[in-house]
A and B are shown apart, each in its own frame.
Chain A
Amino acid sequence: MTEPVAGFALGVVIVGLACSTFVTRTSFLLAGARLSLGHRVEVALRYAPVCTLAAIIVPDILMHPPAHVLDLSLLNPRLIGALAAGLWLSWSRNIIGCLGLGMAAYSLARIYL
């Protein structure tokens, strides 16, 4: 893997991300009636975050460092942690509990498996 983004480049990334926050949040508030959302576009915008996050999370869990190859084994600590967090979420929306249980399962799996 290449080096992490740092220094000036990291500054550029942060400014870019700040612009993306500003542009999306103020879009319609500033553009007024000149913009309009069709149904198709609204659907795409609504589901864009969940799709992006799934595309980030799943490889992060199943293709973890250092090997970065598919690890579908139930002994994969990240998978165990994520499953525990998901189970918690299916009956409670409390994110502290979700993170606590997920981290506990992940840590135990890393230590004992």
Chain B
Amino acid sequence: MGVNGQHRSLVTAQPSERRVAFRLGQLAILPSLPGAFAWGMISGVAMVKGGLGVPWAITMSLLVYAGSAQLAALPLIVAGAPLWVIVATGLITNLRFVIYSAALRPWFADRSRGVRAALGFFMTDFTFTRFMRSAQEGTLPAQHSDAWFAGVCSSNWITWQLSALVGIIGASYVPTQWGLEFTGTLALVALVGPSLNARPAIVGAAAAAVVALVAYPLPFKLGLFCGAIAGIVAATLTDAVEQRSPPRSAEQT
């Protein structure tokens, strides 16, 4: 009876604890949802004003689910760039997720492949940042950090998709003369601005911009590529130089 009761309590406690963790995760991301909503809406507006029809814009939002990659790909789609250039540009824009993925791995190493794949796909800048904050504070639910993160991601996904839909539908009623497609460029400015907080980023961005301008006449939008590659090389070199001559205080210790 005792064994039976224990067994039953284990079975019944398991799902409800997971559900609580999921709920807590859903609530934990609330403060950043207005930001996610704004991003989703802007990407929706930019997609429709960039010339994607409403059905394609919705498909893109649902399948790609990466605002920066979508916004980066958009001008290339409009310009009729070769398909591989568009996809490669999206891929480079997404490369930061490789770092996020590496940082998350230790937390979910014991979960099934399916769970890891799902948590990975639904991870974004917002949800990753939120997860790492709780991980560093040690406030993650011990047994159910995956359920908690799934909650975080679900709130973010629902908010993003709804806001993209609002942007997509809303923008289709706004006349083209308003120039709303420029919001896409401004959104990218807002994305880049806060990242320019370290010397490698500044040098890299400047090199990328100059090379992209000079190489602009190249066919297939290849100038963009040359710019991106030049920028990455410049940023890596800048970082290497900084590593070689660390600040004084570090040398003394």
Contact = CB atoms under 8 A, between A and B. Distances in A.
Contacts of A61: 185
A74 interface: no
Contact of A54 (B51, B70, B78, B227): B227
Given A2-B80, A24-B98, A107-B179, A55 B212 contact: yes
Interface residues of B, number: 95
A99 B83 CA distance: 29
Interface in A30-70: 30, 32, 35, 37, 40, 42-63, 68, 70
Interface residues of A, number: 72
A10 B236 contact: no
Interface in A2-27: 2-5, 9-27
Contacts of B201: 47, 50
A52 B93 contact: yes
Nearest to A82: B189
Contact of B78 (A4, A35, A68): A4
Instruction: Classify the secondary structure of A's interface with B.
Output: helix
Given A55-B228, A96-B38, A21 B98 contact: no
A20 B175 CA distance: 33
Interface in B66-111: 66, 68-70, 72-73, 75-81, 83, 86-87, 89-102, 104-105, 108-109
A4 B99 contact: no
Shortest beta-carbon contacts, A-B, top 7: A51-B231, A55-B227, A26-B120, A2-B80, A16-B87, A47-B235, A58-B209
B43 to A, nearest CB: 12
Interface stretch (B19-27, B56-64, B158-166): B56-64
A46 B96 contact: yes
Interface in B101-137: 101-102, 104-105, 108-109, 113, 116-117, 119-121, 123
B205 interface: yes
B188 interface: yes
Nearest to A101: B186
Nearest to B56: A10
B83 A13 contact: yes
Interface string B210-233: 011100100000011101101110
Give the interface centre of A27, A47, A82, A107 by most chain B CB atoms within 10 Å: A47
B182 A103 contact: yes
B89 A106 contact: no
A20 B117 CA distance: 14
B157 interface: no
B78 A26 contact: no
Contact of B42 (A16, A40, A78, A99): A99
B148 interface: no
A59 B79 CA distance: 13
Given A9-B83, A21-B66, A47 B189 contact: no
B30 interface: no
16 contacts: A24-B101, A25-B120, A28-B104, A35-B102, A40-B236, A43-B235, A48-B96, A52-B208, A53-B93, A53-B191, A59-B227, A68-B216, A98-B189, A98-B193, A99-B186, A110-B179
